[in-house]
Amino acid sequence: MPHPVVTTATAQMKKAVDHTLHEFSGIHTGKATPGMVEGVMVEAYGSMQPLKSCAAISTPDARLIQVQPWDASLVKAIIKGIQEANLGFNPIPDGKVIRIPLPDMSRERRQEFVKVANRLAEEGRVHVRNVRRDALETLKKAKLPEDESKRTEKEIQTLTDKSIADIAQHLAHKEKELLAV
């Protein structure tokens, strides 16, 4: 049975990897996905809310995102939120629906997105290392027998290596996806 510190570290490292993957999904490759805009903050009913909580987001084709607010009075606020998010999109109102055509991807833009992906991957790796550091500190405070302590430290390091390798693998896949023409 693994030590509770290892169990906690495993859960936190998995969360860090999952968060990094979620962040990767926000980087678009020229193919429309709802994840590209669902986190955009919109001023609705006096507070800031994510777009996905006040509109239906769909992708009718590979080059278009369609946003249908549940309340037609939010159309202007949604357009403003998308423009302020600085995603490089130009939302077009069409009655009660907002259409967001994706711009063509230039070579420079693709390189920019690769840099963003690398930054997000590094943030994920740093988070995983922070979890390792916290787990090792907790382990030292637990004052376990030396052999059990060494074995648990080794388990934590193995988990760290695996999590960082997962992030690297997903980063390589994302770079390949971004640079594919």
Q: Quote the mean pLDDT of the chain.
A: 90
Q: Is there a contact between 156 and 139 (Cβ–Cβ < 8 Å)?
A: yes
Where does 34-101 sit in CATH, by number? Answer: 3.30.1360.40
CA distance 138 to 123: 23
Instruction: Specify the pLDDT at position 80.
Output: 93
CA distance 109 to 87: 12
Which of the four pLDDT bands, split at 50, 70 and 90, describes residue 153? Answer: very high
For 103, phi then psi, to 5°, come to -70, 155
> What does the pLDDT look like over 71-87, one tens digit per residue?
989 999 999 999 988 77
CA distance 128 to 18: 11
Which of the four pLDDT bands, split at 50, 70 and 90, describes residue 54? Answer: very high
Q: Is there a contact between 128 and 163 (Cβ–Cβ < 8 Å)?
A: yes
CA distance 116 to 110: 10
Which of 14-28, 50-64, 74-88, 149-163 has the highest mean predicted lDDT (pLDDT)?
A: 149-163
Instruction: Specify the pLDDT at position 159.
Output: 96
What are the boundaries of each domain within the chain? 4-25+106-179, 34-101
Q: What is this structure's pTM?
A: 0.70
Question: What class has domain 4-25+106-179?
Answer: mainly alpha
The CA-CA-CA angle for residues 103, 108, 113, to 5°, reads: 75
